[in-house]
Structure 1
Amino acid sequence: MHLPPLDVAVYPIHIMSRGTYSRHLTRPSSIASSTSSSSTTSLRSCSASPNFASIQRVMSTVFRSSKVTVQQAERLQGWLHQVYMLRLADGSSLTLKCPPTSNVRLLRHEKNFLETERTTLETLHEYTQLPIPQVIKYDSQGGALGSPYLMTTHLPGRRLSELACNLTPSERRSIDRTLGSYVGELTALSATQFGMTHRVFAKKGCNTWKEAFLALLEATLRDGEDMLVTIPYDSIRYYIGANSHFLEEATQPRLVALNVCDEENVLIDEHTKKVTGLLGFSNVIWGDPLMSGGIADGSDAFFEGLGERPANTEGIKARLLMYAAYRSTVLIVAHHYRTHHNVDELDARRSLSHALNALAQI
């Protein structure tokens, strides 16, 4: 399907209840039934996080009614952004995503993540039937919150990362097959230009995938140089540059959600073990479908759902290696910007070395 041009530009859980918050060592996806009034304080004191009154004012503005009441706001575990689950008086739930706190330094490709997620979700709702959040409100100015925010519906289910160790082989194959079909549906969407989503939707993308990918890579390398991260910059530039002509094999810009198959971004019904939702649409570009999440380490069941396995040609092998080198570089550099407990830097460095050594043999 071809899309027309679009002119659209482990830590404590904080729970606010009726204007206060408390710290609970509970599972990130759980909802606390009450808060401790004796030990609560304003959430504004926590790294400029939005306070309860601001959230309530936003809700009243969004729904144009003072009767829409937020009873509870729970801070969820997030990789980068501040994410809250809002429990309303009628029992429904929404998700509020705000920018990182002011002391978090962003990589170049991360600076438009909220806008990217909004435009991607709106596009997917129009052209697909995927189980994804629905955008309720996006405010680039922030309104009562004072900074940009994205409000979406809250999807049911638990993260695959929480359930993976308890799944049977049959259940896991079924999930992988479903994810493969979803990735196929995503990469079936095409645009008129290559590159980062906010640039493509503003008609400022690249005309070739080679140009777009090398720009993405160079931005990450410069992020690393800014922080004096020790990685083989010259080797990365040389071996990817020497094989960059293979990037010209990707001639049609496709929707590429880099993190869509990460276990943190896949929601599963705890009882049926079926996929109930997909998250992770902030890191989305328009480019080579081989770069999509799930492709690099997909199981047989995943490729059954996708409909095909990448051919074993020299060009495809080179592209997959270049994408592996890019992902490893991003992980290493981001880890030096903000340490994350789910990132194994040594493993990322091994993957980078393997990819560069393999590219040197082509």
Structure 2
Amino acid sequence: MAKLSLPPSSLQSLLSALLSNTVLTSSTELSTPLHLNTVYHLKTTAGSFTLKLPPSPSARILRYERHLFPAEHMVTSFLSSQGILPAHPSNGTYIYDPSHELINTSFILKPYLEGQALSTPTKEALAWLKKLNSLTSPTGGYGFFQDATHSTYQSFFLSLFESVLLDGEELLVLLPYEQIRGELAQWKWCLEVEHQTEKEGCFVVFDLALDEILVDGDGKVKGLAGGWERGCWGTWELQNALRGEALSKEYFGENWTGDLGHVGRARLLLHDLLAATCRIVTLFYRQAAMSDEEMSHRKKLVGILQQLSELRSTK
């Protein structure tokens, strides 16, 4: 995967320009599986920092990812104003620079977030997530944070799904495109607003994994390891489909599917279908296809399509 990189001398020059008399003592490039941002942990005489760079201009990225990097700053500023995250430090150690003047790319420099990856759901983490998800779109619109221009959730969902399908077709990813689009055409009516629990967008982090949540020794949530650029205004089904069954049971309760009824079941299956399709296509774009993970998602996709077909026959 093509990623931007900076040698230690360039990292030191950048720090010197931003934080006077600061000396770089070590730099480590952090692993960002399936994400194309370059992330450095910088240890300096002024403390530890995270330097985040956008994907390389030559990197293959999905359509929905093309304008995500600037959203990191917008989302963290918004969440700080809502008391979800601490305010940006007033000492100038949080810097978003899109100018390309200091280095030939945009970047974010911020204090390094210490913490351990969450391995199992905790009450503290779930309370934090529920507070996060209680935030509603200031404009009433749906979509990714920097472009929440969809007036309905149905419009956002179908647009996002179609963009992922187009990405797959562009890279010749083998998928049952006609069947997927056929099921979307058959079931899109159940995404209309009268079938939603929420009547306005709630804050969701698209493709959030449990181990992206960082906690301290007391279990208090510190933030997200992968950052916030995938923040969007959606519905609980979107966050549910992309969090996995274990977290869903803890978040909503053991019987989290409950008595969803015909429409509710169809909505969940459509979101599961998006999750499986998006992950398969992403693996190809990250040159990580032909793996056990890909095979697992393909099996899920086949099963979901079968369930949607069976559900339609029982209407």
Q: TM-score range by the shorter chain?
A: 0.7 to 0.9
Deviations 1:267-321 (A, max 9, x none): 244x55654432332222211122114365425433369xx94543232222221
CA distance in 1, matches of 2:182, 2:248: 31
Counterpart residue type for residue 195 of structure 1: G
CA distance in 2, matches of 1:318, 1:209: 15
CA distance in 1, matches of 2:151, 2:174: 32
Counterpart residue type for residue 78 of structure 1: T
Question: Helix, strand or coil: the match of 1:143?
Answer: coil
Asked if residue 339 in structure 1 is aligned to residue 251 in structure 2, the reply is no
Counterpart residue type for residue 55 of structure 2: P
Asked if residue 105 in structure 1 is aligned to residue 53 in structure 2, the reply is no
Cα gap change, 1:55/1:143 in structure 2, threshold over 3 Å: closer, same or farther? farther
1:158-173 map, 5 Å: 158-160=116-118, 164=119, 172=120
Asked if residue 225 in structure 1 is aligned to residue 181 in structure 2, the reply is no
Q: Contact conserved, 2:3 with 2:38, CA < 8 A, in 1?
A: no
Cα gap change, 1:133/1:331 in structure 2, threshold over 3 Å: closer, same or farther? farther
Asked if residue 353 in structure 1 is aligned to residue 309 in structure 2, the reply is no
Equivalence for 1:216: 160
CA distance in 2, matches of 1:195, 1:300: 26
Asked if residue 141 in structure 1 is aligned to residue 95 in structure 2, the reply is no
Equivalence for 2:71: 116
CA distance in 1, matches of 2:88, 2:308: 39
1:230-309 map, 5 Å: 230-248=174-192, 249-250=195-196, 251-263=199-211, 265-269=212-216, 272=218, 275-280=221-226, 281-292=228-239, 293-294=242-243, 296-298=245-247, 300-303=249-252, 309=256
Deviations 1:79-124 (A, max 9, x none): 321110111103x211111122344211111112211222111111
Partner residue of 1:329 out of 277, 290, 293: 277
**TM-score of the superposition, structure 2-length normalised?**
0.83
Deviations 1:130-160 (A, max 9, x none): 5799781112233322111122221112323
CA distance in 2, matches of 1:68, 1:186: 35
Deviations 1:192-211 (A, max 9, x none): 211122212xxxx1111111
Cα gap change, 1:131/1:322 in structure 2, threshold over 3 Å: closer, same or farther? farther
Question: Helix, strand or coil: the match of 1:182?
Answer: helix
CA distance in 2, matches of 1:73, 1:278: 20
Q: Contact conserved, 1:58 with 1:143, CA < 8 A, in 2?
A: no
Cα gap change, 1:298/1:262 in structure 2, threshold over 3 Å: closer, same or farther? closer
**TM-score of the superposition, structure 1-length normalised?**
0.73
Equivalence for 2:10: 54
Asked if residue 178 in structure 1 is aligned to residue 136 in structure 2, the reply is no
User: 5+ unaligned residues in a row in structure 2: which ranges?
Assistant: none
CA distance in 2, matches of 1:340, 1:152: 30
CA distance in 1, matches of 2:183, 2:98: 40
User: 5+ unaligned residues in a row in structure 1: which ranges?
Assistant: 1-10, 12-45, 165-171
Asked if residue 72 in structure 1 is aligned to residue 26 in structure 2, the reply is yes
Counterpart residue type for residue 213 of structure 2: V
CA distance in 1, matches of 2:220, 2:134: 23
Cα gap change, 1:75/1:335 in structure 2, threshold over 3 Å: closer, same or farther? same
Q: Contact conserved, 1:194 with 1:207, CA < 8 A, in 2?
A: yes
Q: % of aligned pairs identical?
A: 26
1:304-319 map, 5 Å: 309=256, 311-313=258-260, 314-319=262-267
Cα gap change, 1:124/1:111 in structure 2, threshold over 3 Å: closer, same or farther? same
CA RMSD in angstroms comes to 2.8
CA distance in 2, matches of 1:231, 1:300: 30
**Number of residue pairs aligned between Structure 1 and Structure 2:** 295
Counterpart residue type for residue 68 of structure 1: T
Q: Which moved more, 1:98-107 or 1:351-360?
A: 98-107
CA distance in 2, matches of 1:154, 1:291: 29
CA distance in 2, matches of 1:131, 1:180: 18
